[in-house]
Amino acid sequence: MLQSLSSTLAESALASAIRHSELAYPLLSSLHIVGIGILLGNILLLDLRLLGVLRQNALAEVLSLLSRIAGLGLGLAIASGLLLFSVQPQHYLHNPAFLLKLALLSLALLNLLLVQYSQSWQQAQSGGQVSSGLKLAAACSLLLWLAIIIAGRWIAFA
């Protein structure tokens, strides 16, 4: 099923347009970097604030601002990433670094969902204490996003 899905994607008009354009791919790559930049910059500050490494500003305000902008970056990175992937899905599905990146990304997104719907997040957002569980999730997030960047960069060399 994954095979047929990926060949449908590769044969789509959009994927073909990106393959044949001189501008599309470099521009999408740039957008992917911008998305990652926005995501990582904000998520690092968010995680470090939760971990107590950074202590500036009211927790509730910082969390709400940083998590929204990080979400924007994530959306941009995923959208541009899907389009970059569409150019040759089969090739990427056989690339070990890409598969590792997908696995790490799934963990990071799972972590994100667990945090977003947790009691601890509600508590922190209303200015309460940061629970030790939330701190652990922040540490995982920090490591996972950095690992995703490294695995992503490795796709070209795997």
13 binds another protein per the rule CB under 8 A: no
Question: Total residues at the site for another protein (CB under 8 A)?
Answer: 13
94 binds another protein per the rule CB under 8 A: no
**Terminal CA-to-CA distance of the chain, rounded, Å?**
25
125 binds another protein per the rule CB under 8 A: no
Give the side-chain half-sphere CA count within 13 A for 87.
16
Query: Between residues 68 and 91, which has the closer beta carbon with respect to another protein?
Result: 91
Query: Between residues 18 and 144, which has the closer beta carbon with respect to another protein?
Result: 18
User: Which residues lie closer than 8 Å to 73 by C-beta, 6 or more apart?
Assistant: 34, 35, 36, 37, 38, 39, 40, 41, 42
Stretch that binds another protein, among 18-26, 54-62, 70-78, 127-135 (CB under 8 A): 18-26
Shortest distance, CB of residue 33 to another protein, whole angstroms?
Answer: 14
Can you tell me which of 19, 37, 75, 126 binds another protein, judged by CB under 8 A?
19
Query: Distance between CA atoms of 13 and 31, rounded to whole angstroms?
Result: 20
Q: What DSSP string describes 18-53?
A: HHH-SSHHHHHHHHHHHHHHHHHHHHHHHHHHHHTS
93 binds another protein per the rule CB under 8 A: no
Residues at the interface with another protein (CB under 8 A):
18-20, 22, 25-26, 29, 87-88, 91, 154, 156-157
